[in-house]
A and B are shown apart, each in its own frame.
Chain A
Amino acid sequence: MSGPVLTVNQIGKSFKNKQIIKDISFEVNKGEIMAILGPNGAGKSTAIRSIMGILHPDEGTVKFHGHSTGSIPRHRIGYLPEERGLYKKVSIMDILLYFAELKDYPVKKAKERALAYLKKLGLEGKEKSSIEELSKGMGQKVQFIASIIHEPDLLILDEPFSGLDPVSQELIKSEIKELANKGTAILLSAHQMNVVEELCDRLLMIHRGQKVISGTMEEVKAQYANYKCVIRGNNEESIFARLPQVQRVEQSGELATLYLEANIQPSTWLKRLPEEIQIKELTVSRISLHEIFIDIATDKKILGEGEKSA
């Protein structure tokens, strides 16, 4: 990994006096996969569209390194928007070559790449078919190829996995990894937290248009993914409420989930459990990215306010 390809600095955008995103800053480095996360309506697509110049941010700057300020090097960027489709009645090869031409990519090379990628993604022999002859998933794969046909330096993928079956998800995931390994800077937004945990080097989580978490995956986990203890047994909720270093308790029948404070040593904390607690089963694990996401999306505030703004 090396220097930044894209720097977004304090961008903000409002519609009808409603602030959609505010003070969003991040960088995407060469060969890095950066995730932009958040619940529906958090402002992810607005941030991405502002980067692409499809929307103009009211404030802040977007800098593409190695290119003059103010201009968007469109031919060096690959973009897969959230709302996407392709010309239905045109052959796949024609569509891919058109997108390559729009990016000033040589036709001959584009044709070779298109055929190679179609083969790689299980669409061999479909180059003359039209989109309307393909399944939705196949169409999604063609859209993905269209976004990378011109070997972009920066690839922006808005919800690349939506609508894909697990097999296709795996295929696209490995392609994204391969592209990053070859040096492409990748910015993606996704809802599938397990995929993000597995795929991304860094993340930015936004909620109601503002940054809530950012950092490398390790940093985020160390900083935000506190431990949780799940106990199965016939216990009153009040017993858990009295326990030290417990932020919040969720109880459903015999199952109680105790969300623990940060910087806890699980072994020490476990020793302090009172003997009257009935334990049929007990597990201690870190809160997953998925839970952090749910926590933010539903405003449960597992995380302390101080931590959120860190």
Chain B
Amino acid sequence: MRNSMKVAKWEYKKNMKNKSFIISLLITPLIFIIFSSLPSFMDMFKSESDPVKVYIQDEMNMWESVEETLLSQGIEWEIQEAETDESGMKKIIKNTENTAYISFSKNLMEQGKLTVYTNEEIDKDFEKQVNVMVQPLRDLQIENLHLSQQEKDIINQGITIDAVSLSKDVGEVKGDPLKRLIPGVFAGIILFSIVMTGMMIFQSASNEKKEKVAEIVLSSVDSSELMQGKIIGYFALGITQVLAWILVIVPYFMWKSEFPILEYLLVPETILLVFIAVLGYLLFAAIFAGIGATFEDMDQTSNFQGIVFLLPWLPAVLYSPVISDPEGIIAQAGSYFPLTSPGVLIMRLSVLESWPWIEISISIIILLISIWLFMKLAGKIFKIGILMYGKNATPKEILKWLRY
């Protein structure tokens, strides 16, 4: 194990000193931030459109309180008192671009209807901005009824519909869907990140063959220590990447929105989901290490080793059936099949309100046995493959090595 840690440290250091890795480590979260803030950034450059000229007919003295709300929402119109009566104003509006006419008449309070006349050519946001007036007008409407404070509160409270469906387990009710979804997405990101860096094991083993350095290394450590070291080293790199993401993205997210993301993440469920992601990494890392050791010429993409790069994406194929029916037969089968198990389990557990613990336990046991088996097989392939210089191994050769 000591030797494995030395190899792991080397692989970690080697990559952390590699400029392209550092750049990708920093650039990925930055790209996320740039893309997520792009819309508001673009707004900054949006050409300042002229404010809409709004003619107000304020018979009921309502404008003052409406304007207050509009300003609090950052809406600024150019306000002008109506010059003539309604029909005259309509004509003016019709012939002047970017203008509107609002009349706060007696009918408004009685009928609850406000007509806003606008020119054809008007700021496209104006329609949304007009809706902001609903709340202050409604408040005024209630005010005019001269109700008691309690009655006002009841009316203001309105009616909300809370759909509650009772699950089979007595007493258990559906709660906040984000409670499971956020740890699930987090574990999914971890799985994605460590499997992506895990793919670098493939390249590392292949390069060690290409650069003919494997035999020198194997004079100091044995092949299983070398393989373990690579798996641990690239796991650490993957986790470093996740940490870089967390350190950059989470504070940014917390700053930009008031969503309590940490409250959702710091729950026991996260531990199990991350554990499943780590198991997924170990499974694919074994495959990458084993197959990478059979592979010297990375340019020969047409050969079968290229297929291993597709294996981690298998759960993506099952995304739709699993999400639409997380307790269906496809979701269950996907949880038991080792190559799709980590991804499918994370997807299912992200959307299922009540976790099927028996299924989870069986899946994890299958996954653990598969990891043990894959590590053993990969070790056999790695041991012979890493020293076979000069050519890529054929599937027939690999099958033969497995029998040793």
List residues of chain A with CB under 8 Å of any chain B CB: 49, 52-54, 74-75, 77, 79-81, 83-90, 94, 98-99, 101-103, 143, 146-147
Contacts and interface: CB of A to CB of B under 8 A. Distances in A.
A87 B216 contact: no
A53 B207 CA distance: 22
Given A83-B389, A89-B18, A54 B212 contact: no
A99 B218 CA distance: 11
Given A83-B389, A87-B211, A88-B211, A99 B14 contact: no
Contacts of A54: 215, 218-219, 387
Given A79-B215, A102-B3, A103-B220, 6 more contacts: A54-B218, A85-B213, A87-B207, A88-B211, A94-B17, A102-B7
Contacts, number: 59
12 contacts: A54-B218, A74-B220, A75-B220, A79-B215, A80-B216, A83-B212, A86-B211, A86-B216, A89-B18, A101-B6, A102-B217, A146-B216
Contact of B216 (A49, A53, A84, A101): A84
B221 A84 contact: no
Contacts of B215: 49, 54, 79, 81, 83-84
Contact of A81 (B207, B211, B219): B219
A143 B216 contact: yes
Contacts of B211: 85-88
Classify chain B's interface size.
20 to 34
Contacts of B389: 83
Given A52-B219, A89-B18, A102 B6 contact: yes
Contacts of A52: 218-219
A83 B217 CA distance: 12
A88 B216 CA distance: 14
Contacts of B221: 74, 102
Nearest to A91: B17
Contacts of A94: 13-14, 17
Contacts of B218: 52, 54
B387 A84 contact: no
Given A88-B211, A101-B6, A81 B216 contact: yes
A11 to B, nearest CB: 18
Interface in B174-189: none
A52 B216 CA distance: 10
A168 B14 CA distance: 30
Contacts of A101: 6, 10
B222 interface: yes
Contacts of A75: 220
Nearest to B19: A89
B214 to A, nearest CB: 9
Which residue among B13, B215, B219 has the maximum number of chain A CB atoms within 10 Å of its CB?
B219
A143 B212 CA distance: 11
Given A54-B215, A84-B212, A85-B213, A90 B220 contact: no
B92 to A, nearest CB: 74
A49 B215 CA distance: 9
Interface string B212-236: 1101111111100000000000000
A85 B219 contact: no
* 3 smallest beta-carbon distances between A and B, as pairs: A85-B212, A79-B219, A102-B220
Contacts of B213: 84-87
Nearest to A78: B219
A89 B17 CA distance: 10
A292 B219 CA distance: 32
A89 B10 CA distance: 13
A74 B219 contact: yes
Nearest to B13: A94
Given A85-B212, A85-B213, A102-B6, A90 B219 contact: no
B222 A53 contact: yes
A53 B387 CA distance: 13
A218 to B, nearest CB: 32
Nearest to A16: B400
Given A54-B387, A85-B212, A143-B216, A98 B222 contact: no
A118 to B, nearest CB: 18
A184 to B, nearest CB: 16
Nearest to B387: A54
Interface in B1-59: 3, 6-7, 10, 13-14, 17-18
